[in-house]
Structure 1
Amino acid sequence: MAPPSEEPTDGAVSPADYRTLCDLLRERTGLSFTEAKRYYVQRRLAERVEATRMPSVRDYLNLLRFQASGAEMQLLVNLMTVNETYFFREKYQLDCLVNGMLDEVVRHRRPGERVRLWSAGCATGEEPYSIAITLLERWPRVDEFQIELYASDIDSMALDRAREGVYGERSLQALPAELVERYFRPVAPGSWRIIDELRESVDFSLVNIVDPAQVRRFTGIDVVFCRNLLIYFDDLGRRNAAAMFHEALSPGGFVALGHSESMSRMSSLFVPRRFPDAILYQKPAEGAGA
């Protein structure tokens, strides 16, 4: 007699297939989904199984595992990621950027040298554009240096929206009216597009931060904004991400995390720095003790 099958008969995902999917997502993206997320994951999985016309979840998992192009994995990841954000979110860190952090970064640099900032997990672009607006509006030395602003995400559809730069009232809710007027142009009722000069100032790219080959281009970074991304990783994924940021940063560079995240729980590579506006995490300067 054959052993009882673990394959459900009601359209749900079997425990074994759910574990396989979660392991695959963690391995490929760093995203960690627990049993508590089963309903959320199962709904999105069902969408892709239907769209690909796979005869079963197990066949779909084989497609994810062996498809050379990785196109289907990208489509699934786009469904799995959460892109809830808005301009000037957690503004106190933007205040810190221009009230002290950047002045410390450029203390020993000559005018014309580069300053590199990276928005990791930029979603639909509100964060890097908020950084750009803050620099233009509030950092008196912005014209003295060559500012390079990078933004990356694992969600290709979110990046398309970021490059397009069109936003609704919800995204703009925390922006003063004068900044909306200065940096946006109306394109439809309740919809505005960020000006071309600002869109062209941000280098957007599709990056999986758990893939060493994809993050290799980020070197000599002075400030990393990685807010509310690592909460979706497990402990090992967070430690690996912290090590990757440490490698990407210049000596003395900073990491800004989300308000519920703490680098001290992830890594001992960084030194907490308390500024008047926020607590940041700093890569020790060369020759400095940790």
Structure 2
Amino acid sequence: MNQDPALKPADLERFCEFLYQRTGMVFGESKRYYIERRIADRVKATGSGHFSDWFATLRNRPGELEAMINAFTVNETYFYREDHQLRALSRSILPAIARTKGPGDKIRIWSVPCSTGEEPYSIAIWLLENWPMVDAYNVEIVGSDIDTEALQAARLGRFGDRALQRLPADVIQRYFEQRRPGEHEIIQDLKESVAFTPANLIEGDSVADQGGFEVIFCRNVLIYFDDAARARAVDNLYTALRPGGFICLGHTESMSRISDRFDTCRFEDAVVYRRPERRT
């Protein structure tokens, strides 16, 4: 930062508490270098002289709060990540849900956080390729994230070779158009099949605004929260999940260590969690 080579301990603590209250993400002294680099970038971008000047701007300018949150989110993902859960989706989860639906009924699937769109687009592609009943229902896929820059990239739908490396060549040919060497764009029909919206998992109103879902993919984000923020997020996810609906977590995350409100479902391809139809 311009004249401050390092954050004072009190300033670091103040910032980390501010970030935690708004996102649930836990940072501290062990992440000092990571924090200082990103704050330095924002201090420079806003023309602030010192941390204290920038922090005042952060607290009073919503646009800067959004930019700061974008700077601290992690967007490492790729197509068909943890594809065992996609197999469970088409083989076990959706057939179970379809038994409670009639032809043409809506089935809503939520990917949160969706990062730059690889996961919700993967869900759309997987269902077109692997669930024969996909056209019998009105499947609505929503991708949400707290990072507004990631959402803009998701809507654009352009991806490098690395993001597509797990996709079969024929799938790439069917659902992507090559813009230039190393860059591929999702075809327009597939773009239109996924809606992207901003959402903050620890804010109840933000989650409630998304409506109810039969399936939620919430993978590899709860590990960044502490116990209190994790519990708040899971309570909000429980409310967003319709009775009888399913939630998929990341492979290092376990709902049983967070909440007892869900039933554990051990399918052939994956362990997922279900909101009971009703509680006694």
* Moved segments of 4+, more than 3 Å: none
- In the alignment, what sits opposite 2:260? 268
Matching residue of 2:32: 38
Find the counterpart in structure 2 of residue 231 from structure 1.
Answer: 223
Taking the TM superposition and a 5 Å limit, the aligned residue runs for 1:18-167 are 18-67=12-61, 70-167=62-159
Instruction: Specify every segment of 5 or more residues in structure 1 that has no aligned partner in the other structure, as ranges.
Output: 1-8
Alignment of 1:246-265 (within 5 A): 246-265=238-257
Q: 1:11 aligns with which of 5, 8, 31?
A: 5
SS at match of 2:142: strand
Matched residue, 1:207: 199
Moved more, 52-61 or 116-125: 52-61
CA distance in 1, matches of 2:60, 2:54: 10
Residues 219 and 250 of structure 1 are in contact (CA less than 8 Å); yes or no, is this contact kept in structure 2?
A: no
- 8 Å Cα contact 2:112/2:216 also seen in 1: yes
1:268 partner amino acid: D
Render the CA deviation track for 1:27-80: whole Å, top value 9, x for unaligned. Answer: 11111112221111110001101111112111211211222xx11011111111
Q: Distance in 2 between matches of 1:144 and 1:80?
A: 41
Question: TM-score with structure 2 length normalisation?
Answer: 0.97
Alpha-carbon distance in structure 2 between the residues aligned to 1:178 and 1:195: 14
Distance 1:255 1:108 in 2: 17
Q: Is the 8 A contact 2:12 2:28 kept in 1?
A: no
What is the rounded CA distance, in whole Å, between the counterparts of 1:153 and 1:223 in structure 2?
16
How far did residue 10 of structure 1 move? 5.4
- Structure 2 counterpart SS, 1:267: coil
**Aligned mates of 2:210, 2:69 — CA distance in 1:** 22
Distance in structure 2 (CA, Å) of the matches to 1:282 and 1:213: 22
Give the match's secondary structure for 2:99. coil
Q: Could you tell me the percent identity over the aligned residues? A: 47
CA–CA separation in structure 2 for the residues paired with 1:78 and 1:36? 20
Q: Which runs of 5+ in 2 are unaligned?
A: none
The superposition leaves residues 68-121 of structure 1 with CA deviations (integer Å, 9 ceiling, x where unpaired) of: xx1101111111111010000000000000011111112121111110000001
Aligned partners of 2:100 and 2:57: how far apart in 1?
Answer: 52
State the Cα deviation string for residues 197-246 of structure 1 (Å, max 9, x = none): 00011010111122222211223300100110111111111101110011
Counterpart for residue 5 of structure 1:
none
Separation (CA, whole Å) in 2 of partners of 1:204 and 1:25: 24
SS of the equivalent of 2:95 reads helix
RMSD: 1.1
Separation in 2, partners of 1:206, 1:41: 23
Q: Which segment is superposed worse, 236-245 or 49-58? A: 49-58
Is the 1:219–1:247 Cα contact (8 Å) retained in structure 2? Answer: no
Greater Rg over alpha carbons, structure: 1
Q: TM-score normalized by structure 1? A: 0.93
